[in-house]
Structure 1
């Protein structure tokens, strides 16, 4: 039953991501070539993240993987694997940015609407298909952040827009942890310490970019 639920969740993640990328492509005002470039870069980072989840799952169950690899590979990833994959991704982004192989801010500006749209769609499917009542809070949060994002985009600086989204999502998620027994993102458990760490990590990444730009 748990495995079946995870399979449904994976299918809904894929659907929501594909739709979110399509919506972003249609809604953004960037030139066609630039849109394709940003989507390709984001897709590449998403693929990296998925690979990191698999690596993290193996590392967290290394002894079992050595004796019975399929027992690890066939079982759904844990929240801890998600956290470790997020750490790997942040490190990768920082290194790529430092080596000037990646423009972090354009990537984040692509990631924000895609993430919010896909989260909204995923939680909506969780609410309607899987009958998950807790999903309504995530639907409201992602929906409000989407409205704010598109409303203030172009009216404030990009740095401020990203900061508002980061603070809004982190504060919203932290608030939901006090309202509900558990809070998830794409069916992965979000613990308060991870939300706080994510905020600090992303904030540091933004500061690193600004420092490089000012220099």
Structure 2
């Protein structure tokens, strides 16, 4: 049954071995997400995923600890790009500009990462599955909270502040990540690609300052 990545004869060279491992992992991800999108998350078993790739259940667990882990494999790759981009922003840049700039510069890399593993159309379909599946939505919110903490610690380190006593890094990151979640929900209701999500996030971030500091009522804004 082990037709993906099976080696006959002598052990392959390290480079070939890693390539076969990557191919097997990516095949498991694609098959998992396709099954989640067509059958639903709860309607898909690990055995279903393994059978689709022609490997054993043991092979699946060699790569992923659970269905949840494979469901969030692609988002985890994208999140790592954002965190790295925040770390790489120019010294002295204001924190809000750091986050906005990191999101902007991450987009092309995120598109590439997604398309290397799954079609963008499938990525969108699975996002809808996550939003509509209580277990996955709970995991998504938990992971979002963990990402916010990672980003807040990076911002605190850049600014030289103590995250345990200064709430500003967490407040700022929560606000920006909240904007991204609002944009993602609007985006997932349509059939547009990731370019449309990028435009939504940018437009929503432009509203962050006015939404927090300015009046919302047009009449009051005009009179002010």
TM-score (norm 1): 0.33
Q: Which of structures 1 and 2 has the bigger CA Rg? A: 2
TM-score (norm 2): 0.32
Q: Which protein has greater RCO, CA pairs closer than 8 Å, 6+ apart? A: 1
